[in-house]
Amino acid sequence: MSQDFRRAKRRSVTEPIGVMDTLTDQLIGRLGNLSESGMLLIASVPVLDDAIYQLRFHVRDASGREMPIDVGAHLLWSAQANTPGQTFAGLRFLTIEPTPLETLRQWVNAG
């Protein structure tokens, strides 16, 4: 497995951005940090190691509009957070459409 995705620029998320599991329509947590190739999820529900997820979150584009970002993501690792009921989870993006990817890239680079 290539580790190039770990070299991508990351942006810490300072405002609460919820992450939705689109298969269950359940809010599963919030973003901790984000790159164009993956994210740190602060999960508020149990997550399964090595699972594949279909997720949606929103970032603001250059005009300030909230834009939905839909990704297929692979859960690479998870660890209990210090806050009861929360888990840190590292996910690598497997699929993302070109237009949302460009929005995401601009958002990450603006931070």
Domains and CATH numbers, the chain: 4-110 (2.40.10.220)
Answer yes or no: is pLDDT of 40 > 90.
Answer: yes
Instruction: Give 81: exposed, middle or buried? Use CB within 10 Å, 0-12, 13-18, 19+.
Output: middle
Residue type, 58: H
- Whole-angstrom Cα distance, residue 88 to residue 82? 10
CA 47 to chain centre: 13
pLDDT, position 57: 98
Work out the pLDDT band at 90, boundaries 50, 70, 90.
very high
The residue-averaged pLDDT of 79-94 equals 95
Distant-in-sequence, close-in-space partners of 2: CB < 8 Å, separation ≥ 6: none
The residue-averaged pLDDT of 34-56 equals 96
Find tokens 């070109």 and name the residue.
98
The pTM of the full predicted model, rounded to 2 decimals, is 0.89
Work out the pLDDT band at 7, boundaries 50, 70, 90.
low
